[in-house]
Amino acid sequence: MRVGKELLELALHCGARSLCVVGTGKNVGKTVAMRAAYEAACEQGLQVGLASAGLDGEAADQLGGHAKPRIELRAGTCFATARDVLPRSPASEILAISRLQTAAGALVYARAAERAHCELIGPPTASGLREVLEELTARAEIAIADGAIDRVAALAGGRDAIVVACGAAAATTMRQAVDDVSALVQRLGIARFDPDEPAVFIEGALTPLQTARFIGTGERGQIVVRDPTQVALRGRAAAKAFEALRIRCERPLRVIAVTIAAISPERSFEPDAFARAVAAATRLPAFDVYAGKRAA
Protein backbone atom coordinates (compact mmCIF):
# COMPACT_ATOMS: atom_id res chain seq x y z
CA MET A 1 0.00 0.00 0.00
CA ARG A 2 1.20 3.52 -0.80
CA VAL A 3 0.48 5.27 2.47
CA GLY A 4 1.32 8.68 1.00
CA LYS A 5 -1.25 8.19 -1.74
CA GLU A 6 -3.89 7.23 0.83
CA LEU A 7 -3.16 10.27 2.97
CA LEU A 8 -3.25 12.55 -0.05
CA GLU A 9 -6.54 11.12 -1.26
CA LEU A 10 -8.11 11.57 2.17
CA ALA A 11 -7.00 15.21 2.17
CA LEU A 12 -8.13 15.93 -1.38
CA HIS A 13 -11.41 14.12 -0.80
CA CYS A 14 -12.36 16.53 1.97
CA GLY A 15 -11.42 19.55 -0.16
CA ALA A 16 -8.25 20.46 1.73
CA ARG A 17 -5.73 22.74 0.06
CA SER A 18 -3.06 21.94 2.62
CA LEU A 19 -2.00 18.91 4.59
CA CYS A 20 -0.25 19.44 7.88
CA VAL A 21 1.46 16.64 9.81
CA VAL A 22 1.73 17.10 13.58
CA GLY A 23 3.18 14.64 16.07
CA THR A 24 2.78 13.42 19.62
CA GLY A 25 6.50 14.00 20.12
CA LYS A 26 9.88 13.98 18.41
CA ASN A 27 10.95 11.24 15.99
CA VAL A 28 7.46 9.81 15.58
CA GLY A 29 7.63 9.77 11.78
CA LYS A 30 6.31 13.22 10.88
CA THR A 31 8.87 13.71 8.17
CA VAL A 32 8.35 10.20 6.82
CA ALA A 33 4.60 10.81 6.60
CA MET A 34 5.10 14.21 5.05
CA ARG A 35 7.55 12.80 2.53
CA ALA A 36 5.20 9.97 1.61
CA ALA A 37 2.36 12.41 0.95
CA TYR A 38 4.72 14.69 -0.96
CA GLU A 39 5.99 11.87 -3.20
CA ALA A 40 2.43 10.77 -3.88
CA ALA A 41 1.40 14.30 -4.84
CA CYS A 42 4.37 14.65 -7.17
CA GLU A 43 3.59 11.30 -8.79
CA GLN A 44 0.02 12.48 -9.41
CA GLY A 45 1.45 15.48 -11.22
CA LEU A 46 0.27 18.00 -8.65
CA GLN A 47 2.14 21.25 -8.17
CA VAL A 48 3.24 21.00 -4.53
CA GLY A 49 4.29 23.56 -1.91
CA LEU A 50 6.36 22.38 1.05
CA ALA A 51 6.94 24.06 4.38
CA SER A 52 7.73 23.42 7.98
CA ALA A 53 6.39 25.08 11.09
CA GLY A 54 9.73 24.74 12.75
CA LEU A 55 12.88 22.97 11.68
CA ASP A 56 12.71 20.07 9.29
CA GLY A 57 14.74 18.24 6.74
CA GLU A 58 17.95 18.47 8.73
CA ALA A 59 20.24 15.48 8.38
CA ALA A 60 20.57 14.74 12.09
CA ASP A 61 18.27 15.10 15.05
CA GLN A 62 19.10 18.33 16.89
CA LEU A 63 18.82 16.66 20.30
CA GLY A 64 19.83 13.05 19.82
CA GLY A 65 22.25 13.50 16.95
CA HIS A 66 21.06 10.38 15.11
CA ALA A 67 20.27 10.42 11.39
CA LYS A 68 16.83 11.74 10.41
CA PRO A 69 14.87 11.06 7.24
CA ARG A 70 15.52 13.80 4.70
CA ILE A 71 13.26 15.39 2.18
CA GLU A 72 14.51 15.47 -1.36
CA LEU A 73 12.76 18.21 -3.28
CA ARG A 74 11.71 17.41 -6.79
CA ALA A 75 12.09 19.92 -9.59
CA GLY A 76 9.11 22.27 -9.70
CA THR A 77 8.29 22.09 -5.99
CA CYS A 78 7.67 25.42 -4.29
CA PHE A 79 9.01 25.63 -0.79
CA ALA A 80 9.51 28.04 2.06
CA THR A 81 12.64 28.07 4.13
CA ALA A 82 15.06 30.35 5.89
CA ARG A 83 17.45 32.31 3.76
CA ASP A 84 20.56 31.09 5.57
CA VAL A 85 19.88 27.39 4.91
CA LEU A 86 18.91 27.73 1.27
CA PRO A 87 21.44 25.57 -0.62
CA ARG A 88 23.62 27.46 -3.09
CA SER A 89 23.64 24.44 -5.32
CA PRO A 90 21.68 23.27 -7.10
CA ALA A 91 20.32 26.78 -7.51
CA SER A 92 16.62 27.27 -6.91
CA GLU A 93 14.40 29.91 -8.44
CA ILE A 94 13.97 32.57 -5.76
CA LEU A 95 10.33 33.61 -5.90
CA ALA A 96 9.95 36.10 -3.09
CA ILE A 97 11.46 37.27 0.17
CA SER A 98 9.00 37.32 3.04
CA ARG A 99 8.95 39.83 5.86
CA LEU A 100 8.67 36.85 8.23
CA GLN A 101 11.87 36.20 10.13
CA THR A 102 13.21 32.88 11.40
CA ALA A 103 16.21 32.05 13.56
CA ALA A 104 18.14 31.54 10.32
CA GLY A 105 17.20 34.76 8.57
CA ALA A 106 14.29 35.95 6.48
CA LEU A 107 11.87 33.38 5.15
CA VAL A 108 12.29 32.87 1.41
CA TYR A 109 9.89 31.31 -1.10
CA ALA A 110 11.67 29.34 -3.78
CA ARG A 111 11.03 26.74 -6.48
CA ALA A 112 13.36 23.79 -6.87
CA ALA A 113 14.81 23.70 -10.36
CA GLU A 114 16.56 20.36 -9.86
CA ARG A 115 16.29 17.57 -7.33
CA ALA A 116 17.75 18.89 -4.11
CA HIS A 117 17.99 18.17 -0.44
CA CYS A 118 16.95 21.18 1.53
CA GLU A 119 16.47 21.91 5.19
CA LEU A 120 13.06 23.45 5.72
CA ILE A 121 12.85 26.09 8.42
CA GLY A 122 9.51 27.69 8.97
CA PRO A 123 8.02 30.69 10.70
CA PRO A 124 8.04 30.74 14.50
CA THR A 125 4.39 31.72 14.92
CA ALA A 126 0.95 30.34 14.13
CA SER A 127 0.05 33.42 12.08
CA GLY A 128 3.33 33.01 10.21
CA LEU A 129 2.42 29.41 9.32
CA ARG A 130 -0.96 30.59 8.03
CA GLU A 131 0.77 33.19 5.87
CA VAL A 132 3.21 30.65 4.49
CA LEU A 133 0.46 28.16 3.65
CA GLU A 134 -1.55 30.87 1.92
CA GLU A 135 1.45 31.92 -0.11
CA LEU A 136 2.24 28.33 -1.07
CA THR A 137 -1.34 27.44 -1.97
CA ALA A 138 -1.39 30.53 -4.20
CA ARG A 139 1.57 29.05 -6.08
CA ALA A 140 0.76 25.33 -5.83
CA GLU A 141 -2.19 22.97 -5.94
CA ILE A 142 -1.53 21.59 -2.49
CA ALA A 143 0.73 22.62 0.35
CA ILE A 144 2.22 20.04 2.67
CA ALA A 145 3.72 21.09 5.97
CA ASP A 146 5.31 19.67 9.01
CA GLY A 147 3.57 21.49 11.82
CA ALA A 148 4.21 21.97 15.50
CA ILE A 149 1.01 21.49 17.51
CA ASP A 150 1.17 24.92 19.08
CA ARG A 151 1.14 26.45 15.60
CA VAL A 152 -1.76 24.56 14.05
CA ALA A 153 -4.16 27.06 15.63
CA ALA A 154 -3.62 29.01 12.44
CA LEU A 155 -5.24 26.18 10.50
CA ALA A 156 -8.49 26.30 12.45
CA GLY A 157 -11.52 27.02 10.34
CA GLY A 158 -9.53 26.87 7.10
CA ARG A 159 -9.23 24.44 4.20
CA ASP A 160 -6.52 22.38 5.83
CA ALA A 161 -6.28 18.72 6.77
CA ILE A 162 -4.25 17.44 9.69
CA VAL A 163 -2.51 14.10 10.03
CA VAL A 164 -1.35 13.12 13.50
CA ALA A 165 1.85 11.10 13.71
CA CYS A 166 2.60 8.94 16.74
CA GLY A 167 5.35 6.53 17.49
CA ALA A 168 7.47 4.47 19.82
CA ALA A 169 9.98 7.27 20.28
CA ALA A 170 7.54 9.41 22.27
CA ALA A 171 6.27 6.87 24.82
CA THR A 172 7.74 4.19 27.02
CA THR A 173 4.94 1.67 26.41
CA MET A 174 2.52 0.98 23.61
CA ARG A 175 -0.38 1.72 25.98
CA GLN A 176 1.03 5.14 26.72
CA ALA A 177 1.62 5.88 23.05
CA VAL A 178 -1.97 4.93 22.25
CA ASP A 179 -3.33 7.03 25.14
CA ASP A 180 -1.26 10.02 24.04
CA VAL A 181 -2.36 9.93 20.44
CA SER A 182 -5.93 9.28 21.44
CA ALA A 183 -5.94 12.33 23.74
CA LEU A 184 -4.33 14.50 21.09
CA VAL A 185 -6.78 13.42 18.39
CA GLN A 186 -9.68 13.99 20.75
CA ARG A 187 -8.35 17.45 21.57
CA LEU A 188 -7.65 18.47 17.98
CA GLY A 189 -10.92 16.97 16.85
CA ILE A 190 -13.19 19.07 19.09
CA ALA A 191 -16.41 19.75 17.25
CA ARG A 192 -17.87 23.13 16.33
CA PHE A 193 -20.26 24.49 18.94
CA ASP A 194 -24.00 24.57 18.39
CA PRO A 195 -25.14 28.20 18.36
CA ASP A 196 -28.67 27.21 19.39
CA GLU A 197 -27.59 25.62 22.66
CA PRO A 198 -26.40 27.27 25.89
CA ALA A 199 -22.67 27.90 25.91
CA VAL A 200 -19.93 29.36 28.06
CA PHE A 201 -17.28 31.05 25.91
CA ILE A 202 -13.72 30.87 27.19
CA GLU A 203 -11.32 33.74 26.53
CA GLY A 204 -7.89 32.23 25.91
CA ALA A 205 -6.97 28.75 27.08
CA LEU A 206 -9.19 26.31 28.94
CA THR A 207 -7.01 25.48 31.96
CA PRO A 208 -7.16 22.51 34.36
CA LEU A 209 -8.37 24.88 37.11
CA GLN A 210 -11.27 26.20 35.02
CA THR A 211 -12.10 22.64 33.99
CA ALA A 212 -12.19 21.46 37.60
CA ARG A 213 -14.58 24.31 38.45
CA PHE A 214 -16.91 23.45 35.57
CA ILE A 215 -16.91 19.79 36.58
CA GLY A 216 -17.46 20.78 40.22
CA THR A 217 -20.48 22.94 39.38
CA GLY A 218 -21.88 20.27 37.07
CA GLU A 219 -21.85 22.53 34.03
CA ARG A 220 -24.19 21.13 31.38
CA GLY A 221 -23.82 23.75 28.66
CA GLN A 222 -21.19 23.80 25.96
CA ILE A 223 -17.73 25.00 27.02
CA VAL A 224 -16.52 26.86 23.93
CA VAL A 225 -12.90 27.68 23.17
CA ARG A 226 -11.73 29.61 20.12
CA ASP A 227 -9.99 26.60 18.57
CA PRO A 228 -8.85 23.16 19.76
CA THR A 229 -5.31 24.33 20.55
CA GLN A 230 -6.80 26.47 23.32
CA VAL A 231 -7.53 23.38 25.40
CA ALA A 232 -4.57 23.29 27.77
CA LEU A 233 -5.28 19.83 29.17
CA ARG A 234 -3.16 16.71 28.98
CA GLY A 235 -3.36 13.07 29.97
CA ARG A 236 -5.95 12.07 32.57
CA ALA A 237 -7.18 15.64 33.12
CA ALA A 238 -8.02 15.85 29.43
CA ALA A 239 -9.73 12.45 29.41
CA LYS A 240 -11.80 13.35 32.46
CA ALA A 241 -12.74 16.76 31.05
CA PHE A 242 -13.89 15.32 27.72
CA GLU A 243 -15.92 12.74 29.57
CA ALA A 244 -17.61 15.15 31.98
CA LEU A 245 -17.98 18.29 29.88
CA ARG A 246 -19.22 19.23 26.41
CA ILE A 247 -16.10 20.97 25.16
CA ARG A 248 -16.61 22.63 21.79
CA CYS A 249 -14.84 25.23 19.68
CA GLU A 250 -15.62 28.11 17.35
CA ARG A 251 -13.12 27.13 14.67
CA PRO A 252 -12.57 23.37 14.39
CA LEU A 253 -9.58 21.60 12.91
CA ARG A 254 -9.93 18.73 10.50
CA VAL A 255 -7.97 15.64 11.58
CA ILE A 256 -8.13 13.05 8.81
CA ALA A 257 -5.75 10.26 9.76
CA VAL A 258 -3.07 8.96 12.07
CA THR A 259 0.29 7.53 11.11
CA ILE A 260 2.32 5.27 13.32
CA ALA A 261 6.03 4.61 13.61
CA ALA A 262 6.37 1.40 15.61
CA ILE A 263 10.15 1.68 15.60
CA SER A 264 12.58 4.06 17.21
CA PRO A 265 16.26 3.89 18.13
CA GLU A 266 15.29 3.31 21.79
CA ARG A 267 12.38 0.83 21.52
CA SER A 268 9.93 -0.73 19.14
CA PHE A 269 6.35 -1.96 19.37
CA GLU A 270 4.75 -4.80 17.48
CA PRO A 271 3.67 -2.89 14.34
CA ASP A 272 0.33 -4.56 13.60
CA ALA A 273 -0.86 -4.48 17.20
CA PHE A 274 0.18 -0.86 17.57
CA ALA A 275 -1.63 0.17 14.39
CA ARG A 276 -4.80 -1.67 15.41
CA ALA A 277 -4.78 -0.14 18.90
CA VAL A 278 -4.29 3.38 17.51
CA ALA A 279 -7.08 2.93 14.95
CA ALA A 280 -9.44 1.65 17.64
CA ALA A 281 -8.63 4.43 20.09
CA THR A 282 -8.78 7.31 17.63
CA ARG A 283 -11.49 5.96 15.29
CA LEU A 284 -9.48 7.35 12.40
CA PRO A 285 -7.68 5.62 9.54
CA ALA A 286 -4.30 4.57 10.97
CA PHE A 287 -1.37 3.96 8.64
CA ASP A 288 2.02 2.42 9.26
CA VAL A 289 4.27 4.33 6.89
CA TYR A 290 7.17 1.96 7.45
CA ALA A 291 5.17 -1.21 6.80
CA GLY A 292 3.04 0.29 4.05
CA LYS A 293 -0.18 -0.80 5.75
CA ARG A 294 -3.49 0.51 7.01
CA ALA A 295 -4.75 -0.98 10.29
CA ALA A 296 -7.37 -3.57 9.64
Partner 1 sequence: MKRLGLLDPASAQAVGFEWLTAALAPVSAYGERHASGLRPFSASEASLARSRAERIAAVAAGVDEARSDAARALVRELPDVAGAIARASMGEILDDVNFLELLRFCDVLVRMDGLLSGVYADPLAGQEVLDLARALAPGRSAGGGFYLTGALSGELERARERLDKAQRELDESSAQAAQQVARALGRDDVGDADEFIVMRAQLRGALPAGVRVVREAPTYLLCALEYDEATLVALERRDAAAQEAAAAEEGVRARLSSLVREHAAGLEGAARELGALDVTLAAARFTRRFACVPATISEEPVLSFARARFLPLAVELEQAGRAFTPLDLELDGVAVLTGPNMGGKSVCLQTCGFIALCAAFGLPVPAERATVGLFDEIAWLGIGSDRELGGLLSSFAKEVLRLREIFERAAPRLLVLIDEFGRTTTPLEGKALSVALIERLRERDARGMLATHIGGVASQAGARHFAVRGLRGIPERPPTSDLREALETLAGSMDYTIAEVGADTGGRADAIALTALLGMDRSFVDAAYQALSR
Of the candidates 20, 25, 28, 24, the residue with the CA atom closest to the CA atom of residue 49: 20
Q: From the CB of 108, what's the least distance to partner 1, in Å?
A: 6
- Cα dihedral across residues 102, 139, 135, 30: positive or negative: negative
Q: Is residue 125 a contact point for partner 1 (CB under 8 A)?
A: no
Q: Is residue 114 a contact point for partner 1 (CB under 8 A)?
A: yes
Q: From the CB of 168, what's the least distance to partner 1, in Å?
A: 11
HSE-CB at 41 with a 13 A cutoff on CA atoms is 31
Those residues whose C-beta lies under 8 Å from the C-beta of residue 183, and which sit 6 or more positions away, are 234, 235, 238, 239
What are the angstrom distances between the C-alpha of 219 and each of 195, 232, 245, 247?
17, 18, 7, 11
Q: Is residue 204 a contact point for partner 1 (CB under 8 A)?
A: no
257-276: which residues touch partner 1 (CB under 8 A)?
Answer: 262-263, 268, 270-272
Q: Which stretch binds partner 1 (CB under 8 A): 81-89, 140-148, 196-204, 206-214?
A: 81-89
Those residues whose C-beta lies under 8 Å from the C-beta of residue 106, and which sit 6 or more positions away, are 82, 83, 97, 98, 99, 100
Q: From the CB of 270, what's the least distance to partner 1, in Å?
A: 5
Q: Count of CB atoms within 10 A of residue 64's CB?
A: 14
Q: From the CB of 70, what's the least distance to partner 1, in Å?
A: 8
How many angstroms separate the CA atoms of 53 and 47, rounded? 20
The count of chain residues that interact with partner 1, using the rule CB under 8 A, is 40
Q: Is residue 199 a contact point for partner 1 (CB under 8 A)?
A: no
State which of residues 14, 62, 66, 93 lies at the interface with partner 1 (CB under 8 A). 93
Q: From the CB of 193, what's the least distance to partner 1, in Å?
A: 39
Q: Is residue 245 a contact point for partner 1 (CB under 8 A)?
A: no
Of the candidates 36, 30, 26, 28, the residue with the CA atom closest to the CA atom of residue 6: 36
Of the candidates 293, 292, 286, 280, the residue with the CA atom closest to the CA atom of residue 258: 286
CB 260 within 8 A of CB 288: yes
Q: From the CB of 127, what's the least distance to partner 1, in Å?
A: 20
Q: Is residue 294 a contact point for partner 1 (CB under 8 A)?
A: no
SS3 call for 251: coil
Q: Which stretch binds partner 1 (CB under 8 A): 54-62, 109-117, 150-158, 192-200?
A: 109-117
Q: Is residue 92 a contact point for partner 1 (CB under 8 A)?
A: yes
Q: From the CB of 213, what's the least distance to partner 1, in Å?
A: 41
Q: From the CB of 258, what's the least distance to partner 1, in Å?
A: 17
Q: Is residue 94 a contact point for partner 1 (CB under 8 A)?
A: yes
State which of residues 15, 45, 65, 89 lies at the interface with partner 1 (CB under 8 A). 89
Of the candidates 150, 176, 151, 177, the residue with the CA atom closest to the CA atom of residue 166: 177
As a dihedral over the C-alpha atoms of residue 115, residue 159, residue 282, residue 196, rounded to 10 degrees, the angle is: 170
Binding-site ranges for partner 1 (CB under 8 A): 1-4, 32, 35-36, 39, 69-70, 83, 86, 88-97, 108, 110-111, 113-115, 139, 262-263, 268, 270-272, 288-292
